[in-house]
Structure 1
Amino acid sequence: MRKFPNLKNILLIIYNIVIFSCQQHSSMKRFKYNTGSSCPSYYGITTYEQIMYSDSDEMIMIDGVGSLRSPWGDGGVTFIKNSPSENPVPKILKLGYYSDTEDQFYEGEFQLPSQDIEKFLEEKSTNSGGKSQNMIEHKYDRIEIGVALGGMIVVWMKGEGEQRELGKYKAKIVKHHWQDIFDNGTREEEVKYNLEKVFTNKVKEEVLNKTLPIDLWEKYREKFSWNYRVNVPENAIVNSVYFNMINAEAETNNQTTNADKPSKRAVPYQAEIIWTLNGKRYESRIIFAEGENYYNTIYKGTIASSDNPYPADLTKEETFQNFKKMKPDHPAELIFNLTSNREIGVNLKQESINVNIRKITGKTFQQ
């Protein structure tokens, strides 16, 4: 049974947005950006209120009211589509939602780092290409909201090949009558339907045994000091390196270099390296987990033949475990070895320690 937020709440949001959009705010800086919301795969979240407010109380809608999409940090349109018009910088975030697996209502009002948001929105892109090879005027053009178990809220700034965490917040459990929030069914019917029709076997067992991984996405936020190095065949040139981290942050380096300086980063789950050799352009794709289903989910937009295309817990994957073995605050180096016959090898090195990461899925294509 799919839940639908109470229609009167949705109409009130739309009404207020229309009213505010008709007002003039000439003295306030405005930026053109999109918004979105997401939740972790398999742990459904349904929002009935998600809105931001500027310093002058102007409303800024967050795209995706209703059943949030996954994966974590990368949601999309599901219920209401926000206007592409320019908006002021948000200062307040308000959220109200139902966590399917926990059978709990959560709400919260949070102060956003508006000065940091403004700096991100003003930042110009220094990359001349990016993953899509299109010139982008501003580096960041989206505010992404993530909702996980236990009331965990994360806000990111997002752009083409870039994503940075703005802050983490904690929503509180609240009590509501089901019919005051949702238009259809009962709470008992929703719980039964989820257990019988929606949850995977693993999640169903977690719900029944009260072993939901409440702190998993907090573990994903752990950062380590590391840099990367790309070893390519003689005369080859590295054009760009892109990383997607398990905490949903992302970065792209288009500075035609095969290495960078150590910095605090989360553990990567995806890397893409563009390089050229003898006038031919290649793309090497690396997923830091075994399994074609996981690879296909990321690159083909399909769950393939698996009910569980994403790894259940990325902290149990070999890459995360190897990072945990490194000395704290001692820089490590993630080394990619790319060959002319399209083989891919990955090592994690720190001082005299050099570990070969075997459980990866890597492919190189000529573009």
Structure 2
Amino acid sequence: MKIIHQLLGLGIIVLLSCNNSNTKKMENKDSFSWGSTITAPHKYPIEIHKGYLANDRQMITAYINTGISTGDWGFGNNAYAGGKTIPTKLSLIWISYADKKFYKIEAVLPKDKILALFKEGYKDKDSSHITYNDITVGLAPGGFVVIWLTGKNRSIEIAHYQAVETFVDVNEFYRNPREHTQQEFYDYYYEASLPKQTQEYIKKNGVPVNLWKEFRTKYNYRFNIHFYKADKESSERESEYVNGEKEIIRAEDLNTYQNKALPSYCRFWFSQYNAEAEFDGEEVLNAFKKISKNHPDKNIEIEAKVAFMYKTTTFTVKCEGDEIPLEKTVVRMWKN
């Protein structure tokens, strides 16, 4: 009888062990380690007041004030701890110094979409299969909010929201050593934190509160590269987009029309030279808006002409004989 009891006990232990193992496998299946980052458009600084990412049961990571944040749209530079479970809620209060306003967002995140993208992952430049590292929150003037999953050579938008204006007393926001009034605080940090170039732009055009919403518009286009002598792109192309996304375009897809956001940066690899192009987002957007209005539903090309001896490359938006040069593009060329 004692032996039977021992066997039964052993069976229960084995059964429980299997169940626990299966439970852990189920949990691990939906578990990915990630950090979180905050970013803002280049030259349009923001500063966090407070906030957090949470799931249905608990807060996962807190956002605290770590100072003024700028960066590149889509690529965070203020890093915070993350977690292993997928967040379902974003709560955040921050100030946009260009607007001189505080904003608040309370948003439900697309959990299933985030989990599916973590599981799917992507191929890196060396064709190894990896997945994302961070959940990045972008905060633009006007209270426009975008969420991306970001990783090595990859950024993809998962959601966008519109925050509401809110009020935070300057004395609650920070120690206020200069004893500023609310308006003095706004004016002082506008002058101190915004580059002069941005201040001049706002004085002339106003705060571009709709620009980052327009950057989300996708167009059907491709690059068409012309060389002064026989050459070709020798491998994949590194591409960043005005909507904050980033990817490596495989060699087999380089010449195909694709429905994508407009380029903000491209790195080209030719047989003997490399080229980098930094596009002016507003210039590219205005060119595509004008071309697509004149030629609705037509494929558009960005013609890239590589100059003699690879001294530079010029870029022109073209469609059915209509041409708009991209004169503000910054180009760098160097030999392999």
What's the TM-score, normalizing by structure 2?
Answer: 0.77
Q: Aligned runs of 1:273-292 on 2, under 5 Å? A: 273-276=268-271, 280=272, 282-289=273-280
* 1:125 and 2:103 aligned: no
* 1:151 and 2:143 aligned: yes
Secondary structure at 1:90 match in 2: coil
* 1:250 equivalent among 225, 246, 249: 246
Q: CA deviation at 1:47?
A: 0.8
Residue of structure 1 equivalent to 2:4: none
- Cα distance change of structure 1 residues 56 and 222 upon mapping to structure 2, 3 Å threshold: same
Residue of structure 2 equivalent to 1:115: 112
Distance 2:36 2:147 in 1: 11
Q: Higher helix fraction: Structure 1 or Structure 2?
A: 2
Q: Deviations over 1:57-87 (max 9, x none)?
A: 341345874422223222313xxx5347x52
Residue of structure 2 equivalent to 1:334: 302
User: Structure 2 counterpart of 1:38, which letter?
Assistant: T
Q: CA deviation at 1:114?
A: 1.2
Q: Deviations over 1:29-58 (max 9, x none)?
A: 221222211112333211122321124334
Q: Deviations over 1:73-111 (max 9, x none)?
A: 22313xxx5347x52111111111122233322212101
* 1:87 equivalent among 84, 88, 94: 84
Q: CA deviation at 1:285?
A: 0.9
CA contact (8 A) 1:64 1:76 kept: no
Residue of structure 1 equivalent to 2:334: 365
Distance 1:357 1:190 in 2: 39
Distance 1:112 1:284 in 2: 38
What's the TM-score, normalizing by structure 1?
Answer: 0.72
CA contact (8 A) 1:244 1:268 kept: yes
CA contact (8 A) 1:288 1:359 kept: yes
Query: Percent identity among equivalent residues?
Result: 19
CA contact (8 A) 2:44 2:70 kept: no
Q: CA deviation at 1:239?
A: 0.3
* 1:213 and 2:208 aligned: yes
* 1:181 and 2:173 aligned: yes
Secondary structure at 2:301 match in 1: strand
CA contact (8 A) 1:122 1:138 kept: no
- Cα distance change of structure 1 residues 62 and 88 upon mapping to structure 2, 3 Å threshold: farther
Residue of structure 2 equivalent to 1:241: 237
- Cα distance change of structure 1 residues 356 and 99 upon mapping to structure 2, 3 Å threshold: closer
Q: Deviations over 1:146-169 (max 9, x none)?
A: 111221111112222222221211
User: Structure 1 counterpart of 2:46, which letter?
Assistant: I
- Cα distance change of structure 1 residues 151 and 216 upon mapping to structure 2, 3 Å threshold: same
Unaligned runs of 5+ in 1: 1-23, 130-134, 290-313
Greater mean deviation of Cα atoms: 228-237 or 341-350: 228-237
